[in-house]
Amino acid sequence: MMKNCCLLFSYLLLFIIGQTTAYAGSVVKNTVVANYKRHVTYVDSFPTPKDIDHLLFYIQRDPNTNTICYTLNIDKDGKLDLSNPIHAFWIRYPEGGVKKDLNFIQRKFAYGINTKKLSDGSYDVRSVAYNKLPMRLKKDVKGVFRIYATINNKEAILERIFIRIGDGGTFWNPDVKYIELKGVEVDSGKKTLMRFKP
């Protein structure tokens, strides 16, 4: 079931973006990028979302620069929507950076987020399509909500997920080369990056 879901997730990433994108260390074999500055150039050439209020993290992937942003879901009174704390939407850079909400299929099968409030006030956060990567929405030491994940076996504030799709594969089994997590280590403040194959 999960394998089929992961394959569907990968295909939807390839198709939908083309049309209009226990912890990781314990469930997959990780490839650590030891030198952050040697990160693949074309990935870092993607645009970085700017001036996005309450941005938590974002997802990018080839073959284009369309980006899915995940922000705090703040209501009209400036308060966090406790029942639905994360809002996801597109930035369509090839169309001049226009912002668009996800459609039903994208929310339910590809880019949507499931959240579960925990007793300490934080949230367990999972992708609707790939729930093997636990994330946590919680406040940092300054009282600001962040998304946390384990990167290279250390707690980190997650900044970006990048999904590399190869040229091979089939309709139901696309060639997902790797998923890349990029963030900042909580303890050291250093940039950190990890790749794994789902």
- For the record, the structure tokens of 17 come out as 């973006």
pTM comes to: 0.79
Question: Is the distance from CB of 61 to CB of 17 less than 8 angstroms?
Answer: yes
Element (H, E) at 89: strand 86-92
Tens-digit pLDDT string for the chain (198 aa): 444 444 444 444 444 444 433 223 333 334 444 343 444 446 778 999 999 999 999 999 888 899 999 999 999 999 999 999 999 999 999 999 999 999 998 999 889 999 999 999 999 999 997 899 999 999 999 999 999 999 999 999 999 999 988 887 654 566 778 999 999 999 999 999 999 998
Closest CA to 109 of 184, 9, 36: 9
What is the amino acid identity at position 18?
G
- For the record, the structure tokens of 146 come out as 């962040």
What is the amino acid identity at position 135?
M
Question: Is the distance from CB of 192 to CB of 151 less than 8 angstroms?
Answer: yes
Closest CA to 36 of 155, 194, 154, 196: 194
